[in-house]
Structure 1
Amino acid sequence: MKKKNPGAKETKQGLTKKQRSYIYTGFFVGLILLLFVVNNTGSEPERGPYPPNYVPAAQQNSVMAPDFALPTTDGKTLKLSDLRGKIVILDFWATWCPPCRKGIPDLIDLKNKYGKKGLEIVGISVDTDTKNQVVPFMKEKGINYPVVYGNQSVYMQYGGIRAIPTTFVIDPHGKIVASYEGLVPKLAYENHIKKILGL
């Protein structure tokens, strides 16, 4: 007959105090890690269905930016080709995306600073269920550049848009000179603008 370890007191569930201690410790460590992840997601891009090693064709720099014609928030139509001759920043975003919201003041500042020098910024909203929140959000934040409503066709033209924000910098000839996934510093865009303008 097997002798019980006198130092291991069994609980009603058959677990020792030591085992229960391990379980509780693991639970609390897991909870702390979960809270850490939740509190630090604001600077990360919102991920889409594509794998991390997927490289969309439209994000390979120095290719022509696919043209599109999309409805604006004020009921008009915006064609990318109509902006030829300007530097264009295309920003795929949504009202519910924390890093998108965080980056919008930088885009507003860039439009204020370089708008008269040939910069245009186009926000492409990927909102679906929250589409009715786009215009109120624009007014609240003072967005000073056109915003259009995206669709599956333009998402696929630009490689599927696996994360937001996803941003493309397009030169006056219509070529993509840079692309970014996630929130990037305003200086990154400004460096491209200055290089194109020869400043």
Structure 2
Amino acid sequence: MSKKAMLVLCLGLLGGCGGEDWGPDQHGRTVADEALRGRWLVINYWAEWCAPCRKEVPELNRLSGELPAAQARVLGVNFDALQGEELATAVRALGIDYTNLERDPAARLGLEASAVLPVTWLVDPQGQVRERLTGEQDAAGLRARLAALGAEL
């Protein structure tokens, strides 16, 4: 086999080594695995009818703007599994600035279903769930929890 053919084969195999994409966001754009892999994830489940969820949106927007994107990301997941334009409309109505996933990552990350909202999961760069926080959160409290878990942000 020629060196060129070997290189093409190796690159093809390496290209397949990444994880599965996370599905579309609220804009219909695919959230690539590479965009989230190796980062702390703050995953917040919310619903339009949840008053505490609505109150914490500005705090999550603030946190999303403060975190270095190369090290951490804030993600939203609609509890009612809204998709497409319904999700986009709800995100706009609540003023959410951070990425919202159409596909629930619960199975991918081993997250337990929650009977209460809001619920926020902290996932480390290795993909391990480190903490589950129920109830309304604020940016300062989430930064403190991440720091306590060893995140250097």
Partner of 2:55: helix, strand, or coil? helix
Alpha-carbon distance, 1:135 to partner: 1.8
Partner of 1:90: helix, strand, or coil? strand
With normalisation by structure 2, the TM-score equals 0.68
Alpha-carbon distance, 1:161 to partner: 1.9
> 1:155-190: CA deviations, max 9, x gaps?
994212221111101111211221111113433211
Q: CA RMSD in A?
A: 3.2
Alpha-carbon distance, 1:102 to partner: 0.7
In the alignment, which residue of structure 2 is the partner of 1:84?
37
Which of residues 98, 111, 124 is equivalent to 1:158? 111
Which of residues 172, 175, 180 is equivalent to 2:128? 175
Equivalent pair of 1:91/1:168 in contact (CA under 8 Å) = yes
What is the total number of aligned residue pairs between the two structures? 133
In the alignment, which residue of structure 2 is the partner of 1:148?
101
- Structure 1 stretches of 4+ with a deviation exceeding 4 A read 79-82, 128-133, 150-157
Distance verdict in 2 for CA 1:77–1:157, change over 3 Å: farther
Distance across 2 between alignment mates of 1:197 and 1:152: 21
Stretches of structure 1 that go unaligned for 5 or more consecutive residues are 1-66
Distance verdict in 2 for CA 1:168–1:129, change over 3 Å: closer
Q: Percent identity?
A: 22
Distance across 2 between alignment mates of 1:187 and 1:101: 17
In the alignment, which residue of structure 2 is the partner of 1:135?
88
Stretches of structure 2 that go unaligned for 5 or more consecutive residues are 1-19
